[in-house]
Structure 1
Amino acid sequence: MSYAALVRPALDRVYIGMRAASRDRLRELTEQTGLRQGLNSSFYFGLLARPMPAAAFAAVTTYGGGDMSDELAQAIMAVDDDGDWSLTDSGHTYTLALQQTIADAAQELWAQTYRGALPGEAVLPRLAELLAVLLKAGRATGGPAFLAATPVYEPPGASYALQVSTRMGALRHHRGDAHRAAWAAAGLTLEQLRALTDGDPLRLAIEQDTNRRDEPVYTALSEAERWELLGLLATLPN
């Protein structure tokens, strides 16, 4: 098994669990601001730093569709004549609050030690460091979504929980780009991809190709650091 295949479920478990833990806080933020989250919620790490090019927008909306009518109606985001998307001034302020809200939820979740059974937030500084290495390395191998996501935006004095939550979100786009490239190289449309069953040999081949395309980013870490990354992820609750 490739390392990319091994680490993917570990990253997904921690990230998805962290985002699930933030739902109530994000709901409160919506009630306080009157604004609803959209693309800014899943791509804040990039949008807070720079506009999203049209190619990146097409990539990140491949699976969920690209209807941005709600973001436009709320004046959270704007699009220019080239199809590039950016946060408005009010959208930027709201998205900064959204990033901090997610980080606060992550801090509360990851600080749990379960009566000393887990190290809690003590692992976050090292995890943030390893993720920073991966994000830098991925600039050479990432596709349009990853390149729009990085370098990530982190406010001055960002907590380690904010750094880790933001960097994990951006890193997952490296694999997302790899997956889109893999099924496109197989000559499939999205509809054809979705029609494949779990055991279909072509689906398995696409997954293997995805791992192959995602693998290079992890070569920036030594073998010991790759195992360390897995160990650190394993200590965080979901």
Structure 2
Amino acid sequence: MSYAALIRPVVDRVYAGASLTARPAIRAYYEQRGLRPGFEVSFSFGLLARPMPAGALTDALVYTSGDMTGELDQGVATVDAEGAWHLTPLGRELALTAQRTIAEAAEERWGAAPDFLPRLADLVGRLLTHGLTTGGPAFRAVAPVYEPPDAPAALRLTARLGALRHHRADAHRAAWRAAGLTVDEIRALPDGPRRRAIEDDTNRRDEPIYAALTADERLELLAGLGALPN
């Protein structure tokens, strides 16, 4: 099994766990403001650093309706002449709150913050830097991530893991497109040889980002993320 295939579920578990734990607090915050959460929550770590190009956003939302009218109607984002999406001051405030809330939820899940969190954040940071030469459009739109000054290790790690997941997402989209499939076809594709071939191609396309780490460092990252409590 490739390293990309081995670490994918671990990265997903850690990031998704923090995000799910944060969801009630984020929803409560939005309800107090009379607003609905949108893309500024999903892509906070990238949008706080730079506008999101139209093509990157289209790719990132390919499995959804891609409807962005809510963000525009709520005054969370604007679109420039090239189609890039920018946060408004309100959108930036919301994104900062979402980023911080996810990090706080991670600390809650993990209990007393493990002393190896800064090391894990550093390792993932090196992956993101290397991934700028190997990633697709969505990844390049969200990396490097935005981190407030003096950001705690939990925030650095969750933000960087959020961006890392887009390297694989780009790889997966490239794999099923290379196989001649549409988004509806890949969503409906059952398990079997064709599905497994696409997953193998996804792993092949995702694997180069991990060349930034030595073999020992890859094991350290896998073990460290795996040791974080559910």
**TM-score bracket for this pair, using the shorter chain length:** over 0.9
Partner Cα separation in structure 2 for residue 41 and residue 82 of structure 1: 23
1:41 is aligned to: 41
1:50 partner letter:
R
The partner residue of 1:154 within 147, 153, 163 is 147
Normalising by structure 2, we get a TM-score of: 0.97
1:109 alignment counterpart: 109
The alpha-carbon deviation at position 92 of structure 1 amounts to: 0.8
Residue 92 of structure 1 corresponds to which residue in structure 2? 92
What code does the residue aligned with 2:215 have? E
TM-score by length of 1: 0.94
Amino acid in the other structure paired with 1:3: Y
1:181 aligns with 2:171: no
Cα deviation, residue 34, structure 1: 2.6
Q: In 1, distance between residues paired with 2:43 and 2:107?
A: 20
**Partners of 1:156 and 1:85 in 2: how far apart?**
24
Deviation of 1:224 after TM superposition, in Å, equals 0.3
Deviates more, 1:29-38 or 1:209-218: 29-38
Structure 1 partner of 2:218: 226
Deviation of 1:121 (Å): 2.3
Distance of 1:28 and 1:188 partners within structure 2: 39
Q: Give 1:125 deviation, angstroms.
A: 0.7
Summarize deviations over 1:169-209 as a string: whole Å, max 9, x none.
000000000000000111111111122102x2111100000
1:37: Cα distance to partner?
1.2
2:16 and 2:41 map into 1 onto residues whose CA distance is: 13
Report Cα offsets for 1:17-66 as digits up to 9, x if no partner: 11111122112211333322111111111100110011101111111121
SS in 1 for 2:116: helix
Q: Tell me if the contact between 1:132 and 1:167 (Cα under 8 Å) persists in the aligned partners.
A: yes
Q: Which runs of 4+ in 1 moved over 2 A?
A: 31-35
- Whether contact under 8 Å (1:29, 1:98) holds in the other structure is no
